[in-house]
């Protein structure tokens, strides 16, 4: 089969991204224009602001992706774009651009699920990886344990009932005054703290359930700090960060490893922004090793929102004959 080049476009939140990927796994370019500095002043992503900046940046990002890859539109075999889940206004910018290019250039269009894209980042990072395997998708908006049966079929084994892991990280980081984005800052600070300083709850669901709940541990941290403030007592931010992070990663690891054991999978992959968390990587690797399970994760650049993962997912959709038409629309609450 001839080489297939896919142009990926991603704009689900606050990163405007475009990438060119060959045959699903070879990244020729991966351009990301982040809005972190813009939203930092607000303490989080402002949807309308994000949408406006996507509009300003999308054309330049696509042009740079093509330039970095050394190709033109005539070399592209398919355009893959995130159409959900995410912020509706932000998604619409990417979807509209992809549809316009597809129509004007007569290039096939493929819609990609953002969560599936995160999972597919592992195929880029590990060229020899093949399904089936268990994947933990943990980010600011999502926390899922997924059984990756093959390149098309995904089965959700567990999911959060409330806050996503990354959302809980960001909220706790804000409460202890670390700023935005909270996850990386909390991870860094936790290295200076004692994870056994405070015993925050590890929430488990009904027997046999692999679902998560992070709202309780987040609230426990907030209540703990409020009580200290009311009593005029001081506290060590690093200890709070380390203790909270330990509670969250304990649950993420335990549930994911149990899922792998149930499926008799010898491989666990991690995806999403929280996959960059140093303690999660170390703890998952160490605990899984006891059961003969290998743990794989992408480099940080492929953990954040990016278009290479969208192009990878789009490649396998394209091979399977899946095409979108001009009715493709943003679906902010899209599920797997």
Are residue 283 and residue 174 in the same domain, yes or no?
yes
Q: Are 55 and 303 in contact (CB under 8 A)?
A: no
Model confidence at 43: pLDDT above 80? no
Which of 223-227, 236-240, 332-336 is predicted least confidently?
332-336
- Give the DSSP H or E segment for 137: strand 133-138
Model confidence at 331: pLDDT above 60? yes
Q: Are 205 and 215 in contact (CB under 8 A)?
A: no
Are residue 136 and residue 263 in the same domain, yes or no?
yes
**What residue numbers bound the domain in which 173 lies?**
130-298
Q: Report the pLDDT value the prediction gives residue 86, as an integer from 0 to 100.
A: 93
Are residue 156 and residue 58 in the same domain, yes or no?
no
- Give the DSSP H or E segment for 119: helix 114-125
Q: Report the pLDDT value the prediction gives residue 1, as an integer from 0 to 100.
A: 56
Q: Is the dihedral of CA 23, 27, 28, 34 positive or negative?
A: positive
Are residue 61 and residue 40 in the same domain, yes or no?
yes
pTM listed for this prediction: 0.92
d(CA 334, CA 336): 7
- CA-nearest of 121, 110, 113, 18 to 318 is 110
Which whole-number Å values give the CA distances from 241 to 77, 136, 197, 244, 287, in the listed order?
47, 22, 10, 5, 22
d(CA 28, CA 20): 5
- Is 84 or 36 the better-scoring residue by pLDDT? 84
Q: Report the pLDDT value the prediction gives residue 302, as an integer from 0 to 100.
A: 95
Q: Report the SS3 class of residue 15.
A: strand
Are residue 71 and residue 167 in the same domain, yes or no?
no
Condensed to tens digits (0 to 9), the pLDDT of residues 182-226 reads: 889 999 999 999 999 999 999 888 778 999 999 999 999 999 999
Are residue 294 and residue 312 in the same domain, yes or no?
no
Are residue 91 and residue 230 in the same domain, yes or no?
no
Condensed to tens digits (0 to 9), the pLDDT of residues 310-329 reads: 999 999 999 999 999 999 99
d(CA 138, CA 74): 36
Q: Report the SS3 class of residue 180.
A: coil
Q: Tell me how many domains the chain contains.
A: 2
Q: What is the mean pLDDT of the chain?
A: 94
The verdict on residue 327 lying in a domain is no
- The encoded tokens of residue 246 equal 């330990």
Are residue 285 and residue 157 in the same domain, yes or no?
yes
The verdict on residue 336 lying in a domain is no
The verdict on residue 124 lying in a domain is no
Average pLDDT for 42-63: 91
Are residue 86 and residue 181 in the same domain, yes or no?
no
Are residue 101 and residue 197 in the same domain, yes or no?
no
Beta strand pairing call for 78-84 and 5-10: parallel
- The encoded tokens of residue 102 equal 């597809």
Q: Report the pLDDT value the prediction gives residue 225, as an integer from 0 to 100.
A: 93
The verdict on residue 328 lying in a domain is no
Condensed to tens digits (0 to 9), the pLDDT of residues 272-293 reads: 989 999 999 999 999 999 999 9
């Amino acid at each position: 089969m001839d080489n297939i080049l896919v142009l990926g476009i991603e704009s689900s939140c606050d990163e405007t991204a475009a990438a060119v990927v060959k045959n699903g796994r070879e990244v020729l370019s991966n351009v990301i224009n982040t809005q972190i500095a813009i939203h930092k002043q607000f303490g989080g992503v402002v949807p309308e602001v994000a949408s406006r900046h996507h509009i300003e940046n999308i054309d330049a990002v696509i042009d740079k992706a093509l330039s970095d890859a050394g190709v033109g539109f005539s070399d592209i075999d398919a355009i893959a774009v995130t159409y959900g889940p995410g912020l509706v206004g932000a998604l619409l910018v990417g979807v509209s651009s992809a549809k316009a290019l597809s129509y004007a250039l007569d290039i096939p269009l493929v819609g990609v699920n953002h969560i599936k894209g995160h999972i597919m980042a592992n195929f880029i990072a590990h060229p020899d990886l093949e399904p089936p395997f268990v994947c933990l998708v943990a980010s600011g908006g999502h926390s899922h344990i997924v059984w990756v049966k093959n390149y098309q079929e995904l089965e959700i084994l567990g999911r959060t009932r409330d806050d996503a892991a990354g959302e809980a990280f960001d909220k706790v980081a804000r409460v202890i005054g670390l700023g935005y984005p909270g996850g990386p800052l909390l991870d860094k600070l936790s290295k200076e703290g004692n994870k056994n300083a405070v015993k925050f709850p590890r929430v488990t669901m009904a027997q046999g359930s692999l679902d998560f709940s992070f709202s309780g541990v987040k609230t426990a941290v907030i209540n703990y700090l409020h009580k200290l403030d009311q009593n005029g007592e001081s506290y060590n931010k690093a200890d709070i960060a380390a203790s909270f992070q330990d509670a969250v990663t304990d649950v993420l690891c335990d549930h994911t490893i149990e899922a792998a054991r149930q499926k008799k999978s010898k491989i666990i992959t991690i995806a999403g922004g929280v996959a960059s968390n140093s303690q999660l990587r170390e703890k998952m690797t160490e605990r899984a090793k006891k059961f003969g399970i290998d743990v794989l994760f992408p480099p940080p650049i492929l953990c954040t929102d990016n278009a290479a993962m969208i192009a990878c997912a789009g490649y396998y959709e394209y091979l399977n004959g899946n095409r979108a038409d001009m009715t493709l629309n943003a679906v902010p609450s899209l599920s797997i």
